[in-house]
Amino acid sequence: MEMEVKLADARKTSGISKTERTKAQLGMPRPQTLAEIDHDKELTCIPLSFADRTGHLPNLLADLIHRLRLPQTEKANISIPARQHGDLRRQQGYTVAMVVEESRILQVSIFSTLQNNLERVDFSKVLGDVITIADEVDSQLKQAVLSYVDVGNGPASARSAA
């Protein structure tokens, strides 16, 4: 998946909605960029529409943008959208391994996008941003997986688990 990333702008932009920020800075996944998911037999064994397969991304990416704006020493916040995504995937029949694979594809997509947009990358911040991205995506994965462990407790129990 390729998204148009402007990491340097993610730290500067303020005063606009999360949805607008997500669309402007990380872009929305395009159908042709989801080839890896579309060809992943493990993930496509559960038939989902494009919207059902990618609808969670704007909220997860908005959380990622928020995290990139925080000081690098700041710990990851609890991601309620990630927990809700885990709940939804569990209800849709995804296994934990499938959720992990989906998260891996998201990380590869983000890093590939950075690679493909090097002319827009602020090299003085890129390594720190990559560390933050990896940490945030892994933290979101943790929240999603908690929905499999904490069945019935919902998003609020994620606060006590983190």
What's the fold here for domain 7-161?
Globin-like (1.10.490)
For residue range 124-160, list pLDDT tens digits in order: 888 999 999 999 999 999 999 999 997 655 544 444 4
Residues in the chain: 162
Predicted pLDDT of residue 123: 85
For residue range 42-59, list pLDDT tens digits in order: 888 999 988 888 888 889
Q: Which two three-digit tokens encode residue 105?
A: 């594809």
Average pLDDT, the chain: 76
Question: pLDDT > 90: what percent of the chain?
Answer: 31
Of 162, 119, 120, which is closest to residue 140 (Cα–Cα)?
A: 162
Residue 34 scores a pLDDT above 70: no
Q: Which two three-digit tokens encode residue 152?
A: 């019935």
Question: Is residue 127 within 8 Å of 59, Cβ to Cβ?
Answer: no
* Surface-to-core class of residue 133, CB atoms within 10 Å of its CB (0-12 exposed, 13-18 middle, 19+ buried): buried
If one counts every other C-beta atom within 10 angstroms of the C-beta of residue 93, the result is 10
Question: Is residue 80 within 8 Å of 158, Cβ to Cβ?
Answer: yes
Tell me the backbone φ, ψ of residue 21, rounded to 5 degrees. Answer: -60, -45
Residue 119 scores a pLDDT above 90: no
Q: Which two three-digit tokens encode residue 147?
A: 């929905």
Predicted pLDDT of residue 15: 37
Domain limits, the chain: 7-161
DSSP annotation string for 51-83: HHHHTTHHHHHHHHHHHHHS-TTPPPPP-HHHH
pLDDT band (50, 70, 90) for residue 6: very low
Of 114, 104, 100, which is closest to residue 68 (Cα–Cα)?
A: 114
* Surface-to-core class of residue 125, CB atoms within 10 Å of its CB (0-12 exposed, 13-18 middle, 19+ buried): middle
